[in-house]
Amino acid sequence: MWFGKNMEEVVVVVELITKLHEEELDEVNQMIKTPDFFNKLVDSMAPTVFGHQDIKRAILLMLLGGVHMFTHEGINIRGHQFSRSFYTSGKSTYVVGLAATVAKEPETGEFCIEILVL
């Protein structure tokens, strides 16, 4: 079993393990050992949407995360996908204020909307 390098990740993993009963752990271990486990997970995502398997795989991998590692060239490969979104309700938008700017992405050259909560 892999534990994260950050103490917070270790605490989360320990909390999850203590919440599962022995029977549930056995069931999870049996599912992991099935030959087509990853594809079964992909098929269970949005079962009413037909096809789009590659997109479902990408979303599943983003949700699950990965292992933080460094390559032998010294490149830092982040293991988790972090969202660049902000949630704001209508009430807080009215009371506090909401601003949006149009910015150009330096990598792609595409325009995007950046939301600022004041």
Q: What are phi and psi of 105, to 5 degrees?
A: -70, 125
DSSP, res 85: -
Q: Contacts for 82-89 with beta carbons within 8 Å, 24 or more apart? A: 86/115, 86/117, 88/115, 88/117
Helix (H/G/I), strand (E/B), else coil: 12:
helix
HSE-up of residue 75 (Cα within 13 Å, Cβ side): 4
> What tens digit of pLDDT does each residue of 22-42 get?
778 788 888 888 889 889 889
> What tens digit of pLDDT does each residue of 55-77 get?
998 888 877 777 778 888 988 87
Model confidence, pTM: 0.44
